[in-house]
Amino acid sequence: MLYNNTATHIRRELLVKVASMAFRGTLTKEIDRIPFEMIPKEKPSIRCCIHHDRVVIKYRLMAMLGFALEKESDELRPLSSYAEEALDRVQVEDPVLTVIDEACSACVQSHYFVTNACRGCVARPCVWNCPKKAIQMIHGQARIDASLCVNCGLCQKVCPYHAIVKVPIPCEEACPVGAISKSPQGKEQIDFSQCIYCGKCMNECPFGAIVERSQILDVIRALQSNKPVIALVAPAMVGQFPGEYPQLVSALRALGFHQVYEVAHGADETIVREAKELVERIHSGETFMTTSCCPAYTRCVGIHVPELKPYISTTKSPMLYAAEKARQENSESLLVFIGPCVAKKGEALQSGMVDYVLNTEELGALLVAKEIDIPHCEPALILNTPSACARAFPIVGNVSQAVGKKVRELAAELEVKPFVVDGMDRQNIKLLRQMVKTKPEGNLVEVMACQGGCVAGPAVINKPVAAAKKIEDWIRKGTLQIKETEPVKVHS
Amino acid sequence: MELLKNARNIHVVICSGTTCYLMGASELFGIEKVLEESLASRINLEGSPCMNLCKGGSYGKAPFVKVNDTLISTATIPKVVEEIRRQASL
């Protein structure tokens, strides 16, 4: 589905409203008004009536305050009371996604359906090809008997009039691991023991019923506290906002971050360690190793493909190395990772290394709330520049390229053959399952849960192609900067 | 008249301030790809720093696009294309 749609717009508008109120300190006073402001009675409703629309807005706001909607116990409890609780919270918690059951339209079970375009032709390829004899001609048109149909889709393929359509359940279809299914009431629910936090369902649900539990309030409170707050900025962020990266750094400082670290520095550490590890593994007779930087992939292996686990590099992700370094230098600080990813929220919680995670949209909302316009920011001077290879991590293929290049420096006799798994859909997860038995066509397997890499993450605001180009342009420009400032080794 | 029809005289300005970008301005830059060649060759597409239309709400909601002097709020590709077509046929 297109990133820009009404569901996305509502979400982003709400984030800005919540952030503005939180910065002003008026959240508990004003938040109960938002559903009424957003859905005024004089405007037509989106769903059945404005009251339904308003209650869905209320649930969206609860998730933005960080609550798991599954745990709601008192429907009468106002948002202001949730806001109060959120403002007192000391710790954020798992799971990072939640389902708004009021927003879920309880889509009918995925099925094939014969439309009125059926001409009741003489050839009747649908009847001939149906392996379950589930199609009959009734009143001159084909009809599928749902009790016999096995959803194979053959009838749809062979109909000369394209009269048969598949009516899907978009979230279930998007989930590569079958973690979403219907409750007895017909609403979708996520089984978090199976969910890999890839975030695909969130973007595919046309009702916007699956949402992230936001940590914006926790971040705003951190920024308003006396503690220094450090932003760990994922390399993917270079391609997300207008203006250039040094302007984004200034914008983050204007927002109240004391320091801004490029996670690409952590990626440089990942490259070196992963290269050494690959050399060791190959020397000890192993046939392949996979990358470890994508948290949705490692979570997926842990839950769904445990036999592949020994092949994942034990090297940590760039985020964790960056966090280690930031902690070493300033143990009192709070660390906020900023990226386009849902699964990083899970990784941050599980590692305990990063305090909070903001996604692209959430950071955008904080900037808009504070009226900070990135293109108007004075570019910050970036003195310590990570390598071009590290900055290129968010574009698919570049992680294995970077590690391969480093291996050639360490052990020229070793041949590194990268094999890239671009996007974790059902088919590629099958491929991962076979990998242990059949061995991949390479010895360094890079896996990215999002097709195209992090530039196509679930919480991006720029188009992946445009974002990738922007990152490449910046790398070209940024590498020129290295030559001017290389002798100085200070963190920006 | 013929000359005028071939000139790049339809000025399309996409606001690229942080607010407009958050609300989907980046996607609007794809507009040249959906226009037929005869129209694409007549537009002059550029991004602009924040035009300050998002403050106060009196101009509608972001993202904002200007097609010559016409302001479009909550801009989408179809809305902008429609205005370009309208102006091209004047």
- B26 vs A237: which has the higher pLDDT: A237
Which residues face A262 on adjacent strands? Answer: A233
**Average pLDDT, integer, range A392-396:** 96
Tell me the nearest-neighbour CA distance from B1 into chain A, angstroms.
37
User: Residue A1: inside a domain, yes or no?
Assistant: no
CB contact, 8 Å: B19 with chain A?
A: yes
Complex-level ipTM beyond the 0.95 threshold: no
Contact B23 A376 (CB under 8 A): no
Q: Is the pLDDT of residue A155 over 50?
A: yes
Pairs of residues, one from chain A and one from chain B, whose beta carbons lie less than 8 Å apart: 62
Q: Which residues of A touch B49 (CB under 8 A)?
A: 373, 375-376
Residue type, A322: A
> Lowest-pLDDT range, A303-312, A439-448, A466-475, B35-44?
B35-44
In this structure, the answer to whether residues A293 and A411 fall within a common structural domain is yes
CB contact, 8 Å: B49 with chain A?
A: yes
Contacts (Cβ under 8 Å, ≥6 apart) of A84: A28
In this structure, the answer to whether residues A483 and A341 fall within a common structural domain is yes
Q: Is the pLDDT of residue B2 over 80?
A: no
With bands split at pLDDT 50, 70 and 90, how would you rate the model's confidence at B6?
Answer: low
Question: Tokens 């660390």, residue?
Answer: A335
Contact A8 B24 (CB under 8 A): yes
Q: What is the pLDDT of residue B5?
A: 60
User: Residue A122: inside a domain, yes or no?
Assistant: yes
Q: Is the pLDDT of residue B22 over 80?
A: yes
Q: Which two tokens stand for residue B87?
A: 């102006």
- A490 vs A176: which has the higher pLDDT: A176
**Average pLDDT, integer, range A302-322:** 97
Q: What is the pLDDT of residue A479?
A: 64
Q: Is the pLDDT of residue A487 over 60?
A: no
Expressed as residue numbers, the domain containing A379 is: 219-491
In this structure, the answer to whether residues A151 and A242 fall within a common structural domain is no
Q: pTM score, two decimals?
A: 0.91
User: Residue A133: inside a domain, yes or no?
Assistant: yes
The CATH number of the domain holding residue A144 is 3.30.70.20
Contacts (Cβ under 8 Å, ≥6 apart) of B15: B25, B47, B48, B50, B51, B53, B54, B62, B63, B64, B65, B66
Contact B18 A9 (CB under 8 A): no
Contacts (Cβ under 8 Å, ≥6 apart) of B74: A9, B60, B61, B62, B63
Percent of chain B with pLDDT over 90: 58
- Each residue of A197-212: pLDDT tens digit? 999 999 999 999 999 9
In this structure, the answer to whether residues A187 and A148 fall within a common structural domain is no
Domain end, chosen from A167, A187, A202, is at A167
With bands split at pLDDT 50, 70 and 90, how would you rate the model's confidence at A465?
Answer: very high
In this structure, the answer to whether residues A139 and A224 fall within a common structural domain is no
CA atoms within 13 A on the CB side of A328: 7
Q: What is the pLDDT of residue A124?
A: 96
The CATH number of the domain holding residue A433 is 3.40.950.10
In this structure, the answer to whether residues A29 and A60 fall within a common structural domain is yes
Q: What is the pLDDT of residue B33?
A: 87
Q: Is the pLDDT of residue A138 over 70?
A: yes
**Residue in B with minimal Cα distance to A363:** B22
**Per DSSP, which regions of A126-248 are E strands?**
135-138, 141-144, 164-167, 180-182, 188-190, 210-212, 229-233
Q: Is the dihedral of CA A220, A226, A227, A230 positive or negative?
A: positive
In this structure, the answer to whether residues A280 and A316 fall within a common structural domain is yes
Q: Which two tokens stand for residue A141?
A: 């048109």
Contact A367 B55 (CB under 8 A): no
Share the mean pLDDT of chain A: 93
Contact B21 A8 (CB under 8 A): no
CB contact, 8 Å: B55 with chain A?
A: yes
In this structure, the answer to whether residues A83 and A102 fall within a common structural domain is yes
Pairing of strands A356-359, B43-48: unpaired
Q: Is the pLDDT of residue A69 over 50?
A: yes
State how many domains chain A has. Answer: 3
Q: Is the pLDDT of residue A477 over 90?
A: no
User: Residue A85: inside a domain, yes or no?
Assistant: yes
In this structure, the answer to whether residues A348 and A394 fall within a common structural domain is yes
In this structure, the answer to whether residues A161 and A272 fall within a common structural domain is no
Q: What is the pLDDT of residue A482?
A: 43
User: Residue A48: inside a domain, yes or no?
Assistant: yes
Domain end, chosen from A146, A181, A213, is at A213
Q: Say if CB A249 and CB A297 are below 8 A apart.
A: no
Q: What is the pLDDT of residue A278?
A: 97
In this structure, the answer to whether residues A376 and A334 fall within a common structural domain is yes
The partner residue sitting opposite B29, judged by closest CB among A4, A368, A466, is A466
In this structure, the answer to whether residues A162 and A176 fall within a common structural domain is no
User: Residue A46: inside a domain, yes or no?
Assistant: yes
User: Residue A60: inside a domain, yes or no?
Assistant: yes
Q: What is the pLDDT of residue A2?
A: 56
Contact B17 A375 (CB under 8 A): yes
How far is Cα B50 from Cα A342, in angstroms, rounded to an integer? 29
Q: Is the pLDDT of residue A94 over 90?
A: yes
Name the interface residues of A facing B (CB cutoff 8 Å): 2-4, 8-9, 12-13, 16, 241-242, 251, 361, 364-365, 367-368, 371-376, 461-463, 466
User: Residue A100: inside a domain, yes or no?
Assistant: yes
Contact B18 A12 (CB under 8 A): no
Torsional class of A379: left (φ above 0), alpha (ψ -120 to 50), beta (otherwise): beta
The partner residue sitting opposite B22, judged by closest CB among A12, A251, A371, is A12
